[in-house]
Structure 1
Amino acid sequence: MIRKTLTIAIVLFAGSAHAQQAGQAQMQAAREICAPDMQRLCPGISPGGGKLKACIHEHASEFSKPCADAMKDVRAARKQ
């Protein structure tokens, strides 16, 4: 369930299919790096209905620096 939640969370930051292909390494790294933060900040939230996205935005300032940096890398890969 956590893996599915992380996958959905990371996909939120990678808009198009092309961007997802270009940034797969960044997305995988972000999933691994952000797993503890997601478990701590958004426990038990299932994807769907915008709840996970809202949780991520609500706690944006509380994510660890490595996780925040990983999400930034995913967003940068999306723009390429």
Structure 2
Amino acid sequence: MIACRFAAIVLSLSLLAGAQPAAAFDQAVIGYCKSDIQRLCPDVQPGGGRILQCLKSHKQEMTVGCAQGLAKLKAGMGK
């Protein structure tokens, strides 16, 4: 019984640790593109890459700051 609880706790912590980079990426996108998200994707629910997909679909309408921020994030992912 104790082993099962321990395994469940370890699994939960590992899932949370794995989610942190994605959450940090989402926060960075919001930081760079908050006004664009509000203007171009007001009804898009966060999560699952939906906001990023929406921004990509409005690439021609993005502000320079948002586009540069996304390029910076993309370059950082390659490291």
TM-score by length of 2: 0.55
Give the gaps of 5 or more residues in structure 2: 1-17
Give runs of ≥4 in structure 1 deviating > 3 Å. 26-30, 47-54
Residues 1-80 of structure 1: pairs in structure 2 closer than 5 A = 20=21, 28-47=27-46, 51-80=50-79
Cα RMSD of the aligned pairs, angstroms, is 3.0
Tell me the percent identity: 32
Q: Which has the higher contact order (CA 8 A, sep 6+)?
A: 1
What runs of 5+ residues in structure 1 fail to find an aligned partner? 1-16
C-alpha distance after superposition, 1:40-67 (max 9, x if no partner): 0000211357754442222011110011
- The one-letter amino acid of 1:66's match is G
Aligned pairs, number? 59
How far apart in 1 are the matches of 2:70 and 2:51?
15
1:22-80 CA distance string (max 9 Å, x none):
xx5x8655422310000000002113577544422220111100110000000000000
Q: Which structure dedicates a bigger proportion of its chain to helix?
A: 2
Work out the CA distance in 1 between the residues paired with 2:28 and 2:54: 20
